[in-house]
Amino acid sequence: MSSSNPENALRSPGRMASGAFHPKGGAATSRRGSNKNNTRGFEVINGEDSSTKPLSGEAHAGPALPERTWVAKQCWGLKGIFIQPINILLVCVPIGIASGKGDWGCLPTFLLNFIAIVPLAAVLGAFTESLSAHTGQMVGGLLNATFGNAVEMIVTINAIRAGLVSVVQQSLIGSILSNLLLVLGMAFLGAGLVNKESRFNATGAGTNVSCLVLSSLALTLPTVYSYMPNATLADEVSLSRIIALVMGFVYVAFLVFQLRTHADLFTGEEAEGEEEEVDLAIVSSLVGLFATTGAVAYCSEFLVDSIEGVSKEYGLPYAFIGLILLPIVGNAAEHTTAVTAAYKGMMDLALGVAVGSSTQIALFVVPFSVIVGWIYDVPMTLNFQAFDATVFLLSVFIASGILGDGVANWFEGLMLCSTYAIVAIITWYIPEAGDAHRMLSANVTAVPPSIFV
């Protein structure tokens, strides 16, 4: 996909847009020569097409290599995706699945599958970006919105099926907070190590923040409504489903605004560069995408099934698991990408990853979770409880104030990271008494029926 869109620019380490860095183990793209009529790798000098005169800068490079075959391109593309340091953790994928099937205990199952999903998220993002490069901007944007958040969506589906509504709500809020506070803060800190001040596209960032303000309103109002006299669970569920449809419509409109009608507002300075040819074919990208999605589904199912046991046996608070730990699973690759990009001076790309991902989760994954609850007849609502909704609302306003001037420095990054640290500390001390009635199961009565009933 074109690098002019910061939101879809990079979803895993090593996959950069034009003009950015490439994976250490090799890129998934390759550049062709600029002379379309010259296919042998030699330039025309003084009107002569001499096969003995190499292109400029290639005097010692020897004769041009023949164009790679289709199989060689696929191997090179796969090398760029899998030869990454974080992918060493892929060894935990089969071990984690074996742990879940072999009943090794809740703690080993939780830890192994927790670690396994981290590199799977990076690989999934890489295949998504490769597939998006073969499509137009609108289709590519939808692909990134869907598969770019596949980890969060799969965990959401499995948790809702298990009746862990509070865990779903907290993990979604936690994903937004980790991107908006921790990732963005660390990106500012990384940029501050190199430059005193770093400038970025305040217009594009402001549009994303406006979407987050709308999302915070959509979550806060149902929460406030739940405290009104005579408010029932059935009314909360119906209200949440209607608001979820509105939020989904707004996200589709945002994609049209960002990728079609006002794409120039989201183009950063580092987005300019020569176009790249994608090595991975559509078939290879699709196969890799669905294979990785299946692995994520397996691991996330065992991860979700072990949450309750870990919380009860080892005293790990549900709030801490949902708000802090689970978001790390889906966002680890994005953390690395945003900080590395900011350190290299590509602030628009870093903000596209951090703030853009928060917007996707708030306007796409949150409504998606409500629709999934509708399908499985589980009362998934937008009543995210007073603490979660308040933290989300305040975090959006903090980020809005910091992003408004279009200039970043290390102290602003420190403030964002400190805010996240305060939230993490408080979640550890949240009492568990309120979780029992918030963990709703599918057999709750007085709830509107499933859309398939």
pLDDT tens track for 52-94: 444 444 445 555 556 778 778 788 888 888 888 888 888 888 8
Residue 52's CB is within 10 A of a number of other CB atoms, namely: 7
When pLDDT is averaged across residues 239-245 and rounded to a whole number, the result is 93
Instruction: State the residue for tokens 């609850």.
Output: 373
Answer yes or no: is pLDDT of 44 > 60.
Answer: no
Euclidean distance between CA atoms 316 and 432, whole angstroms: 10
Would you state the pLDDT for residue 372? 92
355-384 average pLDDT score: 90
The structure tokens 């900080």 sit at 339
> Mean pLDDT, to the nearest integer, of 120-146?
70
User: What is the arithmetic mean of pLDDT over 156-170?
Assistant: 86
Quote the pLDDT of residue 344. 81
One-letter amino acid of 359: T
The predicted structure's pLDDT at residue 1: 40
Percent of the chain with pLDDT over 70: 74
- CA–CA gap between residue 279 and residue 332 (Å, rounded): 25
Overall pTM > 0.95:
no
pLDDT at 446 over 50: no
The CA distance from 442 to 245, in Å, is 22
Question: And the tokens for 158?
Answer: 């499995």
49-63, 181-195, 276-290, 329-343: which is most confident: 181-195
Ranking 35-39, 75-79, 99-103, 306-310 by mean pLDDT, the lowest is 35-39
What three-state secondary structure class fits 63? Answer: coil
Is 428 in contact with 320 (CB distance < 8 Å)? yes
Q: Does 165 have pLDDT greater than 80?
A: yes
Mean pLDDT is lowest, of 51-65, 204-218, 265-279, 378-392, for: 51-65
Lowest mean pLDDT across 5-9, 90-94, 193-197: 5-9
CA distance 450 to 447: 9
Q: What is the pLDDT of residue 9?
A: 44
285 within 8 A of 129, measured Cβ to Cβ: no
Cα-based angle 279, 281, 284 (whole degrees, multiple of 5): 115
Eight-state DSSP code of residue 363: I
- 109 Cβ contact list (under 8 Å, min separation 6): 96, 99, 100, 302, 303, 305, 306
Closest CA relative to residue 19, chosen from 2, 43, 42: 2
pLDDT at 145: 57
Using CA atoms of 231, 233, 239, 241 in order, give the dihedral in degrees to the nearest 10.
Answer: 170
